[in-house]
Amino acid sequence: MAGLGVSGSALPGVRDRRENSEIGAQLHELISELYPISRSLTGDGVRETLRRLGELIPLEVHEVPSGTPAFDWTIPKEWNIRDAYIEDPSGRRVVSFADSNLHVMGYSVPVRRRMPLEELREHLFTLPEHPEWIPYRTSYYEENWGFCLAHAQLERLPQGDYEVCIDSTLGDGYLSYGECVLAGQQPDEILISTHVCHPSLCNDNLSGVAIASLLARALSSIEHRYTYRFLFIPGTIGSITWLSRNEETAALIKHGLVLTCAGDEGSSTYKRSRRGDAEIDQAMEYVLASSGQPFAIEDFSPWGYDERQYCSPGFNLPVGCLMRTPHGRFPEYHTSADGLELVTPRALADTFGKCLATFELLERNGVYVTLNPKCEPQLGKRGLYGAIGGEPDKRLAQMAILWVLNLSDGGHSLLDIALRSGLPFETIASAASRLLEHELLRRLEAPLRTQSA
Binding site for Zn ion (CB under 5 A): 204
- The distance of closest approach from Cβ of residue 45 to Zn ion in the complex, given in angstroms and rounded to an integer, is 15
Torsion of CA 69, 70, 73, 77, to 10 degrees: -60
- Asked if 252 contacts 181 with a C-beta cutoff of 8 angstroms, the reply is no
| Residue showing the smallest CB distance to Zn ion in the complex | 204
Q: Is 228 helix (H, G, I), strand (E, B) or coil?
A: strand
Closest approach, Cβ 128 to Zn ion, in A, equals 21
Shortest Å, Cβ 241 to Zn ion: 18
Residues 6+ apart with CB under 8 A from 55: none
Maximum Cα interatomic distance, the chain, rounded to a whole number of Å: 95
- Cβ proximity to Zn ion: between 351 and 427 the closer is 351
Least Å from the CB of residue 260 to Zn ion: 8
Residue 204 or residue 332: which is nearer to Zn ion going by CB?
204
Quote the least distance from Cβ 190 to Zn ion, whole Å: 24
To Zn ion, the closest distance from the beta carbon of 334 in angstroms equals: 6
Task: Name the residue nearer to Zn ion (CB basis): 5 or 45.
Answer: 45
CB of residue 31 vs Zn ion: minimum separation in angstroms?
15
* C-alpha dihedral, 367 to 368 to 374 to 375, nearest 10°: -90
Nearest partner of 18 among 267, 349, 343, 342, judged by Cα: 349
Strand ranges across the sheet with 441-444: 409-413, 367-370, 441-444
| Residue number, 204 or 279, with CB nearest to Zn ion | 204
Report how far residue 319's alpha carbon sits from residue 169's, in angstroms, rounded to the nearest whole number.
Answer: 36
Pairing label, strands 69-70, 73-74: antiparallel
Among the listed residues 80, 76, 78, 64, the one whose alpha carbon sits nearest the alpha carbon of residue 179: 64
Closest CA relative to residue 343, chosen from 353, 356, 354, 330: 330
Q: How far apart are CA 64 and CA 173, in angstroms?
A: 8
**55 or 142: CB nearest Zn ion:** 142
Cβ distance to Zn ion smaller for residue 44 or 204:
204
State which residue, 260 or 398, has the beta carbon closest to Zn ion.
Answer: 260
From residue 186, alpha-carbon distances to 223, 226, 446 in Å are 11, 6, 10
CB of 207: closest distance to Zn ion in angstroms?
12
CB-wise, 207 or 241, nearer to Zn ion? 207
- The count of residues in the chain is 453
Cβ(69)–Cβ(381) under 8 Å? no
